[in-house]
Amino acid sequence: MKISIVVPCYNEEVALVFFQKEIDRVSQELMPDVTFEILYIDDGSKDNTLQEIHHLAEQDKRVKYISFSRNFGKEAAIYAGLKNASGDLVAIMDADLQDPPALLPEMYHAIMEEGYDSAATRRVDRKGEPPVRSFFARKFYKLMNNISNTDIVDGARDYRLMNRKFVNALLELGEYNRFSKGLFGWVGFKTKWIEFENVERVAGETKWSFWKLFRYSIEGIVAFSTAPLALAAVLGVIMCILGAIAIVFIVVRQLAFGNAVAGWASLACIILFLGGVQLLCLGILGSYMSKTYLEVKNRPIYICGETNIEKK
Q: What is the rounded distance in angstroms from the CA atom of residue 278 to the CA atom of residue 105? A: 54
pLDDT band at 269; cut points 50, 70, 90: low
pTM: 0.73
2-9 and 35-42: which strand pairing? parallel
Distance CA 148, CA 281 (A): 19
274-308 tens-digit pLDDT: 777 777 777 777 777 877 777 788 888 889 988 98
Q: What are phi and psi of 121, to 5 degrees?
A: -120, 150
Q: Provide the pairing of β-strand 304-307 with 156-163.
A: unpaired
129-185 per-position pLDDT tens digit: 666 766 666 777 677 666 666 777 777 788 999 999 999 999 998 888 888 888 888
